[in-house]
Structure 1
Amino acid sequence: MTLPVDIGAYFDSLVARVSTAVIVPQVPIARSEDSFNNCHDNATKWVAEHPEYQVVRGWLLWPQAGPPYMLHAHSVVIGPDGLVDVTPLRESGLHFLRHTGSKEEFLSLAKRYAQHIHGLDFTL
């Protein structure tokens, strides 16, 4: 399956917007060990139970001070009070960058590039 975007250009555009990344507050709810690393399903379930929310797709940055950046495909939700994360994270304070394309494009990217290192410069 071919991806709907040029991968290098896509991740370049994310890194170019790194200054717009935000820390998304966690929803203080009890979660099981299965909730970790299951953000796409967690966000979808949350929206099904809370119709005033919508899923927001994007990427967690680690570390914030890159480059290079480790980009992790991640889903959060947005509701009346703004963005919230319904998935427990093993490391707090990670910054989130929104995906700017379609849901289908994101899911295709996330399947192939769930974790992607970007911003390395090999020209030295």
Structure 2
Amino acid sequence: MANAKASFTGESSRTPDQKRRLAATLALLAVTARRVLRFADKFDGWTPTLGGCHQNVDRWVESHPGHKAVRGWLDVSFLATPAARRFTAHSVVADENGDLFDVTLGSSDLECSFILHPGSDDDFRYYALTPGEHSLEHAPSA
């Protein structure tokens, strides 16, 4: 199933080593993580699709000239095994000033730090759109 989706996105599967390297990089980049304002429940007439952050952002950007999609990862380490870090692919919006805000999560959702994706848009799309690949976990070596 993952291969079918991967071929849809035009990307080949990632090796376990590539996934481990990305997860380790995200763990290092966690010190650069930003808090992103969660505005999904603040805009009149805006109804995001639950679990559809990438599509929500694309839809927002289409109707708001000057805004850009920003791809990255939420640090959801509270879901990881002890001593590990966990990250899930997520998309947010940058306004004309470069300020980031979330059009999927609202003020009542858990606040998680956002890490910019360190690779290409195609690389991010693979992880975000391939079933079973949207979350990564990094467990430090003993």
TM-score normalised by length of structure 2: 0.73
Q: Which residue of 2 aligns with 1:70?
A: 86
SS in 1 for 2:38: coil
Alignment partner of 1:50 is 2:64: yes
* Residues in 2 aligned to 1:70 and 1:12: alpha-carbon distance in whole angstroms: 10
The letter for the 1-side match of 2:112 is L
Whether contact under 8 Å (2:23, 2:137) holds in the other structure is no
* Residues in 2 aligned to 1:58 and 1:75: alpha-carbon distance in whole angstroms: 6
Whether contact under 8 Å (1:59, 1:98) holds in the other structure is yes
* Residues in 1 aligned to 2:26 and 2:86: alpha-carbon distance in whole angstroms: 11
State the Cα distance separating 1:44 from its structure 2 match: 0.3
Q: Which residue of 2 aligns with 1:19?
A: 31
CA-to-aligned-CA distance 1:48-67 (integer Å, 9 cap, x gap): 00111110101001136x74
State the Cα distance separating 1:75 from its structure 2 match: 0.3
* Residues in 2 aligned to 1:99 and 1:67: alpha-carbon distance in whole angstroms: 22
The letter for the 2-side match of 1:40 is H
Count the aligned residue pairs: 120
Whether contact under 8 Å (1:15, 1:119) holds in the other structure is no
Q: Which runs of 4+ in 1 moved over 3 A?
A: none
* Residues in 1 aligned to 2:24 and 2:77: alpha-carbon distance in whole angstroms: 16
- The structure whose Rg is larger is 2
Alignment partner of 1:2 is 2:13: yes
* Residues in 2 aligned to 1:67 and 1:21: alpha-carbon distance in whole angstroms: 18
Whether contact under 8 Å (1:47, 1:55) holds in the other structure is yes
Unaligned runs of 5+ in 2: 1-11
Alignment partner of 1:36 is 2:54: no
Whether contact under 8 Å (1:35, 1:88) holds in the other structure is no
* Residues in 1 aligned to 2:83 and 2:116: alpha-carbon distance in whole angstroms: 18
SS in 2 for 1:35: coil
Residue 103 of structure 1, aligned match among 121, 125, 129: 121
SS in 1 for 2:61: helix
TM-score normalised by length of structure 1: 0.82
Alignment partner of 1:83 is 2:100: yes
* Residues in 1 aligned to 2:125 and 2:43: alpha-carbon distance in whole angstroms: 26
CA-to-aligned-CA distance 1:80-103 (integer Å, 9 cap, x gap): 240011102563211100002111
